[in-house]
Amino acid sequence: MKTIKTCVTALISALLVFSPVAYADKWSDQFPHIKATGDIPGECSYESMSKKNYKGKTLKINTHAVPVMGEPTALHAEQFAKLTGAKVDVTHTPAGDLYAKAMVPFQAGQAPYDIVFGFSNFINDWKRYLEPVPKKYVEMKQMQDVTPSHIGIASWDGVMYQFPVDGDRHYLKYRKDVIDNPKYQKKYKADTGKELRVPQTWKEYGEMAAYFNGWDWDGDGEKEYGSAEVMKKDDLMYAAFYSRSAAYSKNPKTPGGFFFDLKTMKPLINNPGFVEALTDWVAATKYVPPGGINFGLGDEIGSFGGGQTLFSFSWDDAFVAAMQPDSPINNKVGAAQLPGAMKVWNRTTNSWDEGFNQAPFFVWGWAVGVAKKSKEKEMAFDYLCFFANEANHQADIGIGRFGVNPFRNDDFKADVWTQIGWDKDIAQSYVDTLAQMEESKNRVFPLRVPGTFEFNAALATAAAKALAGQLSPQAALDEAAKQWEDILNRVGKDNVRKAYSVGVAMEDNKL
Amino acid sequence: MNFKHKYVFLFPGLFVLIGILIFPIIFTIRLSLSGWNSYTPEMNFIGITNYIRLFTDDPRFWESFFRLSFLSVTTVILQYIIGFALALIVWREIKFKRFFRVIFLIPMMTTPVIMTVIWRTFFHESLGPVNDLLGNLGVKPILWLSDPVIAKFTVIIVEVWQWTPFMFLLLLAGLLSLPKEPFLAAAIDGASPFRKFVYVTFPLMAPISIGAIIIRLIEASKIMDTVFVLTSGGPGTATETSSFYIYIKGLREFQMGYAATLSFTYLVIMIISLTIIAKVLTKLMIKE
């Protein structure tokens, strides 16, 4: 009798102890996407969603084209439909049309989509048409793990309008097998008299990129080049330019605006700091691959991820793509903060402040909201919550083409990345880089004001003219500054100032 | 039957005309007088402010218009010359005439966007086959898409390839419908093939040529998909055309009111300039 009792107790104990694993096996069998972790218990886990019943209801989603963000949207839609019985219609739209495709019906008072994907810097224009994220989601466990920076990016005046599904920043990616290679370090020293190391400044970046441009330095029989950058007009190139400008223009001694002087609303984009950055960038056209001046984000990811260049800087996607098992440069890349500069422009004294300066750029990322006029708000928020649940998130961030990047505190642990096959030191340098950016007190956040598109387009056009040799960097940025003045006059300085003050408060560490 | 009742039968056609032509034009004019954009989503009335901005403070639109003029005139002239030459070839009794007629039409039957994607791949400067082939012949890589001058010619190459068949088709139809007598008379007089072309074929083809050129000019002046896919207007603004610029202002920057101003102004300019071109061509090519 005693033996039977002991056996029953052991069996019950085992069931209790291993029950989460049992759940994980059950769900990962049906949904192989989460096979690495299984289901992770939470308010929006697979288990929780399977208890919802949305049979007979249809959820309409407008998202980006496949694969970046479009692929995970479709995948999670299919999973959500299987779990809840809902019908989910996913429409894929090119990046350049996401804004207008939502904005036209928004302004016409219609809601053809319950959920709209876009970029986080749309928030100012979209917020009046979006339903604030309900309290129950804001307070749930998975949201508590989102970093304060990304809560700030998804919110406006303390109200969360965008459901965090992605976290973005620009940082430097480099070929570790070259920069850390003693043979190349010796050769570089002998030829240039300088150290080959992770570039600390944009000038060093340019020198190294130019040195390693146009010859086969990895022995694959193909020529390699210095740098892959997003230089194509109308394809997010303005973000790349801001990244290059931050070190020269974001001076911690002069709070009160990076893009404008908040007091006067005078555009700052043609000051010597920005001009220096654009001058560097024009020089960069000499060390990008042939045709690199027309590289959009996809080209940049493919170029660096395919092993064509020494450096790259932009979103996480190129790095994660390079670290995937099928990449030719798997475990041969390193991450570091964006290079700095040995001088930074001081707009108060109208002179350069000498000394090292570095400023991370928390560039906009993918954002998603629920239309205020949607008739399926509860289902829409449940879908978003399910999209970003812990199991899905951990699986998504390891797939470069998905465009889902770290935005939770747990993502900044090296173990998360070593589990998917990254070398320990690379994983550590990656999470250290992200963590240092989070901790920096000299950060730049994206421009999120009325007319953001007009401001960024004017800047991109001017910068593109400089890169194509149509205008000098100073003339190009003077042209952009003049257009910014015109846009300010059209939108209203006070309207822009009011919105811009929110971003400035984040940059000045007041939020 | 009451005579007036006959007009009732005009109503369906009239409604369609109003619906698809008159209403959009009137709506565009009204929109052009508003400041509708992302931050003022309403059909307010701001008078001719947008027109003043266009004529005094938007050199980019005018640059894109002159660039468009260059691109469309160049492509149409090339299409006319090549299309005419091809039509003359298959007009003669040659072997596999029907086969060549079909082959020459294939580019026109393909989808422009998809073909432009393929051309973009061909011309990709580091991964494309064109530079690869040239490299095998010892030619340095050509900056097909990233040099401001060469990029314009790349756009021209793609447009000429895509639309020459249309010109070919119209001109071949014209050639096949020409009367035989003038050619017989020229043959009896012992005219050389060159003189036959200059004094018989070309003059007889003039009305059809003018029609074909005008149709192609109208189409070429709307060039958008090729530029959008091939260069996105770049490098810089080197290949930006009017329609692409209007698209940027309207659907990228969401300046609906201003984009309507650009569209309406563009429409007026095109109506005037194409009317003048048609008259000039008629005067030059058709002799009384």
Q: What is the pLDDT of residue A444?
A: 94
The CATH architecture annotation of domain A171-362+442-507 reads 3-Layer(aba) Sandwich (3.40)
Q: Judging by beta carbons within 10 Å of its beta carbon (0-12, 13-18, 19+), is residue A172 exposed, middle or buried?
A: buried
**Residue A1: pLDDT over 80:** no
Do residue A454 and residue B41 have CB atoms under 8 angstroms apart?
A: no
Q: What is the pLDDT of residue A321?
A: 84
Share the mean pLDDT of chain A: 91
Do residue B252 and residue A99 have CB atoms under 8 angstroms apart?
A: yes
Residue B42 inside a domain? The answer is no
Say if residues A303 and A205 touch (Cβ distance below 8 Å).
no
Q: What is the pLDDT of residue B2?
A: 60
Work out the pLDDT band at B134, boundaries 50, 70, 90. very high
Report the residue of chain A nearest B121, measured CA to CA: A291
**Residue A185: pLDDT over 50:** yes
Q: What is the pLDDT of residue B275?
A: 94
- List residues in chain A touching B: CB distance below 8 A: 96-97, 99-100, 103, 106-107, 125, 225, 232-235, 289-294, 296, 308, 450-451, 453-454, 457, 461, 464-471, 486, 490-491, 495
Alpha-carbon distance B228 to nearest alpha carbon in chain A (angstroms): 10
What is the C-alpha to C-alpha distance for residues A56 and A358, in angstroms, rounded to an integer?
54
Residue B17 inside a domain? The answer is no
A92: Cα separation from own chain's centroid: 20
Q: Judging by beta carbons within 10 Å of its beta carbon (0-12, 13-18, 19+), is residue B164 exposed, middle or buried?
A: buried
A118: part of which helix (H) or strand (E)? strand A115-119
**How confident is the model over B61-83, as pLDDT tens digits?**
999 999 999 999 999 999 999 99
- B60–chain A Cβ distance below 8 A for any pair: yes
DSSP, collapsed to helix, strand or coil, labels residue A85 as coil
User: Taking Cα atoms as reference points, which of A373, A343, A366, A364 lies closest to residue A271?
Assistant: A343
Q: Strand pairing partners for A52? A: none
Instruction: Give first-to-last CA distance, chain B, whole Å.
Output: 47
**Residue A19: pLDDT over 50:** no
Mean pLDDT calculated for residue range A208-218: 97
Q: Which of A106, A291, A451 sits opposite B145 (nearest CB)?
A: A291
Q: What is the pLDDT of residue A4?
A: 55
Do residue B248 and residue A486 have CB atoms under 8 angstroms apart?
A: no
Residue B79 inside a domain? The answer is yes
Do residue A293 and residue B238 have CB atoms under 8 angstroms apart?
A: no
Residue B1 inside a domain? The answer is no
Residues of B whose CB is below 8 A from A467: 235-236
Averaging pLDDT over each range in A245-249, B37-41, B226-230, B232-236, which range is the top one?
A245-249
Do residue B125 and residue A290 have CB atoms under 8 angstroms apart?
A: yes
In this chain, the answer to whether the domains covering A28-164+365-405 and A171-362+442-507 adopt an identical fold is yes
Work out the pLDDT band at A3, boundaries 50, 70, 90. low
Work out the pLDDT band at A23, boundaries 50, 70, 90. very low
Say if residues A449 and A496 touch (Cβ distance below 8 Å).
yes
Residue B13 inside a domain? The answer is no
Q: Judging by beta carbons within 10 Å of its beta carbon (0-12, 13-18, 19+), is residue A150 exposed, middle or buried?
A: buried
Q: What percent of chain B has pLDDT over 70?
A: 98
Q: Is this prediction's pTM over 0.90?
A: no
Do residue B124 and residue A291 have CB atoms under 8 angstroms apart?
A: yes
User: Taking Cα atoms as reference points, which of A168, A144, A104, A143 lies closest to residue A371?
Assistant: A104
Report the residue of chain B nearest A449, measured CA to CA: B39
Residue B279 inside a domain? The answer is yes
- B282–chain A Cβ distance below 8 A for any pair: no
- B37–chain A Cβ distance below 8 A for any pair: yes
CATH of domain A28-164+365-405: 3.40.190.10
Residue to substitute from B53, B126, B147, B154, interface A, most A β-carbons within 10 A: B126
Q: How many CB atoms lie under 10 A from the CB of residue A418?
A: 15
Q: E strands along A247-288, which residues?
A: 260-261, 266-267
Q: What is the pLDDT of residue A20?
A: 43
What is the C-alpha to C-alpha distance for residues A500 and A410, in angstroms, rounded to an integer?
31
Q: What is the pLDDT of residue B1?
A: 54
**How confident is the model over A435-488, as pLDDT tens digits?**
899 889 999 999 999 988 889 999 999 999 999 999 999 999 999 999 999 999
Domain that holds residue B265: 58-285
**How confident is the model over A36-79, as pLDDT tens digits?**
889 999 999 999 999 999 999 999 999 999 888 999 999 999 99
Residue B45 inside a domain? The answer is no
Q: Which of B39, B126, B248 sits opposite A451 (nearest CB)?
A: B39
Q: Token pair for residue A329?
A: 């440069």
- B233–chain A Cβ distance below 8 A for any pair: yes
Q: What is the pLDDT of residue A5?
A: 54
Q: Which of A99, A232, A464 sits opposite B254 (nearest CB)?
A: A99
**How confident is the model over B184-201, as pLDDT tens digits?**
999 999 999 999 999 999
Q: Which of residues 261-280 of B touch A (CB under 8 A)?
A: none
Q: What is the pLDDT of residue B3?
A: 65
- ipTM score of complex: 0.81
Mean pLDDT calculated for residue range A98-120: 92
**Residue B4: pLDDT over 80:** no
List the alpha helices (DSSP H) in A388-472.
Answer: 390-396, 414-418, 424-439, 452-467
Work out the pLDDT band at A22, boundaries 50, 70, 90. very low
> Residue B67: which CATH number?
1.10.3720.10
- Per the structure, the count of domains in chain B is 1
Where along chain A do its domains lie? 28-164+365-405, 171-362+442-507
Work out the pLDDT band at A6, boundaries 50, 70, 90. low
Residue B153 inside a domain? The answer is yes
What is the C-alpha to C-alpha distance for residues A455 and A130, in angstroms, rounded to an integer?
23
Q: Judging by beta carbons within 10 Å of its beta carbon (0-12, 13-18, 19+), is residue B119 exposed, middle or buried?
A: buried
**How confident is the model over A365-399, as pLDDT tens digits?**
899 999 999 999 999 999 999 999 999 999 999 88
**How confident is the model over A282-334, as pLDDT tens digits?**
999 999 998 899 888 888 888 998 899 999 998 888 888 888 888 899 999 99
CA-to-CA separations, B234 to A275, B147, B149, B264, in angstroms, rounded: 21, 9, 11, 25
Work out the pLDDT band at A18, boundaries 50, 70, 90. very low
**Residue A131: pLDDT over 60:** yes
